[in-house]
Each structure stands twice: as C-alpha cells, then as structure tokens.
Amino acid sequence: MGEVDPAFIQEPEHRPKISYIEGQGIPLIDLSPIHSPDNVSAIEGLVKEIGSACKEWGFFQVINHGVPLEKREKIYSASRKFSALSAEEKSKVRKSEKKVYGHYDNEHTKNVKDWREVFDFTINDPVTVPASPEPDDEEVTEWKNQWPQYPPELREVCQEYTQEMVKLAYKLMELIALSLGLPADRFHDFFKDQTSYIRLNHYNPCPAPHLALGLGRHQDSGVLTILNEDDVGGLEVKRKTDGEWVRVKSAPDAYIINIGDTTQVWTNDEYESVEHRVVVNSERERFSIAFFLHASSYTMVEPLEELTSEQNPAKYRAYSWGKFITHRKRSNFQKLSVENVQISHFKITQ
C-alpha cells in the first residue's frame, strides 16, 4: 500500500474533510463506582452520565474499566507480529464467503474501499447461524475461526482478551439498562449464544490521506462496540447536533464505546447509533482492537415492550438477527445490486 490504488479512492462525499473539530470530544466517564456497588449515589450518578452520553452522542470513553493493561499489551504485540507476516503466510487464513473469520486486506472483497487490513475471530467457536438470509430457508451452518501458525501465542492471548471484553460489555449493558429505567439484567438473555467477535485492525501509512479513508463512514449494526486504539488515533464521530466530524482523542488507558443499530431498535430510537469513520495517517501505521457485542443468532430484534406505548409506538418491525448478519457477511464477497440491509429497511412509517 505504498501508493494509492484508484480502487481505494473515496467518492467525493465520503472523502475526509481537511478540517475537523477537536477539543469538543465525546464524554469521558469514570467507571470506578461499579467496583464499589454499595455506593448507591455514585452508581446513580454514573447511570445518569451513561444515559446522557448515549442520548446526546451515541459515543463515550470509559476509564477505570478493570481491563488489565497486560492483557491489552499482549494482544497488541501479537497483532503487530501477525501484520508483519508475508502476504503468502497471511493468505493461509484468508476470509471468504464461507470462512467469514480470518484475515483480509480489502483486495479480496467487493464492496469496501478501506485502507486497512483486519483479522477477525468469533468469541464462540464455532457459532451457529442461518445458512442463508432467505426468510423461508431454515438451514443452519457453523462459522469457525481460522488461527494462523504464527505468531504461536495469538490464539491464547486473543482468548484471554475476549474474557475481559465480555465482562466489560455486560457491565456496560447493565448500566445502559438502568439508564433506561429497566432492570440491570434486562439484556442478558439476548447473549446466551452471542455472535460477538473481535477485530484486529492495522492501518498502513497512506501517502495521500486526503484521497482515502482508513474506514469509511458507517454505523455499527450490533449492540455495542468497545474500541481501544493506539496513540496514532484517527477515529472521527459525526456529532448529532450539527453533523460535524469530531476527532476523538483517546484518554490514557481508555476504551471508546459506541451504541450500535441493534440498541437503537431495542430502545425505539431513544439511543441512536451514530456515524463514524477512521482517517489514515500519512506517516505512521495505526493499530486498534474492536469488540463487537452481538446478540444470539436466533434473536428477533424489535423495540422492547417496556419502551413502547400507545403514545410511543414501536418504530421498527421485528427482524431476525441471524438472517441480518448472514446477509451482511455474504455482501462482503458479492457485489450487490441493491443497498446492503440496514435497520432503516425495518422502519415503520407512522
């Protein structure tokens, strides 16, 4: 990726702006109170902060989250070693339409123009999903991880890191539930056979960052995303109040959290999923680790009954999460003649 291939050049409306807003970043929230659950007033204050961040931004950062620094350093080290392997070695675990987890660098997909390479792995291996996105097809299949031979420690450190992400995700979903006036465990049952996965991102330096994006603007389709990035940065969030792109400056030892489309549907638009993108750096490579919290494949996603009423009716029709993600995964390797499936397709016109 020393030169900008024309295939990676973004359409004008997707190209990064020369200017962006800094210093008015997403909320920074201290999770310390969750480690002292008897401090009721502190927990109430934390819940209020979470609710405000979800409603006003759809994004926030957390510190004092409880994830050991050592485990994060280990997975970054393994990720760097993997990215340094030859293309031939990495191709042994290449993603495909049937092997949806593993490595890809966008030379092998049809619908993406991102300046990056990734390595994906599911936290439940294997994970059972619908074999087809077609509504009447009841067949299921299994998606399995592909682990490279090198570095030999990658699998173990990834699995250790996964445990920390699951614990943090559950804590965050409990706080989000409380912020909505729901029981803390309201969302737990959706994750019994969760389809969550982790993505190791590597962005090479780009000689013409004004022409390409590390990751184009998008919204996450799942429940919640937990992101950690190195000091290079580059994440930008589209501010809800005015549509301006705001550069996220990560606090030391922080995780960046954002609400996904599934949570937007569950909350009946009370909390909205927000567009974001990654701008590439002209001189330095960038690494990040993203955990995507996803529901069980058999989950029917629809507004929660407690959050709808005659005055606030459901804004979405129910849809199968398994069928939804099967459609999404397949679209990575097939050039679609129509827009990829979005939650807007299930929006009810009042």
Least confident range from 68-77, 184-193, 331-340: namely: 331-340
Least confident range from 24-38, 163-177, 180-194, 303-317: namely: 24-38
Strand partners for 143: 127
DSSP string over 9-62: PPPGGGSPPS--B-SS---EEE-GGGG-TT-HHHHHHHHHHHHHHHHHTSEEEE
Arithmetic mean of pLDDT, 1-8: 44
Please answer whether residues 144 and 197 qualify as being in contact, where contact means their C-beta atoms are separated by less than 8 angstroms: no
Q: What is the pTM of this model?
A: 0.91
Which fold does the domain 6-346 belong to in CATH?
A: Jelly Rolls (2.60.120)
Arithmetic mean of pLDDT, 77-94: 96
pLDDT attached to residue 24: 58
pLDDT attached to residue 279: 87
Helix, strand, coil percentages in the chain from 3-state DSSP, rounded to 5: 30, 20, 50
Least confident range from 1-15, 151-165, 220-234: namely: 1-15
pLDDT tens by residue, 272-331? 999 999 988 888 999 999 999 999 999 999 999 999 999 999 999 999 999 999 998 877
pLDDT tens by residue, 11-34? 544 544 434 455 458 999 999 999
Q: In angstroms, rounded to a whole number, what is the distance separating the alpha carbons of residues 253 and 231?
A: 10
pLDDT band, residue 164 (cuts 50/70/90):
very high
pLDDT attached to residue 293: 98
pLDDT attached to residue 22: 52
pLDDT attached to residue 57: 97
pLDDT attached to residue 48: 97
Report domain extents, the chain.
6-346
Query: Which of 307, 296, 297 is closest to 264 using CA atoms?
Result: 307
Query: Which of 79, 72, 63, 87 is closest to 121 using CA atoms?
Result: 79
pLDDT band, residue 205 (cuts 50/70/90):
confident
What percentage of the chain reaches a pLDDT higher than 70?
A: 87
pLDDT tens by residue, 110-134? 445 577 899 999 999 999 999 999 9
pLDDT attached to residue 282: 84
Calculate the average pLDDT of the chain. 89
pLDDT band, residue 337 (cuts 50/70/90):
very low
Angle, vertex CA 43, rays to CA 41 and CA 46, nearest 5: 110
Please answer whether residues 341 and 301 qualify as being in contact, where contact means their C-beta atoms are separated by less than 8 angstroms: no
pLDDT attached to residue 18: 39
Q: Tokens in use for 242?
A: 């005015």
What percentage of the chain reaches a pLDDT higher than 90?
A: 75
User: Helix, strand or coil for residue 226?
Assistant: strand
Q: In angstroms, rounded to a whole number, what is the distance separating the alpha carbons of residues 171 and 293?
A: 12
User: Helix, strand or coil for residue 90?
Assistant: helix
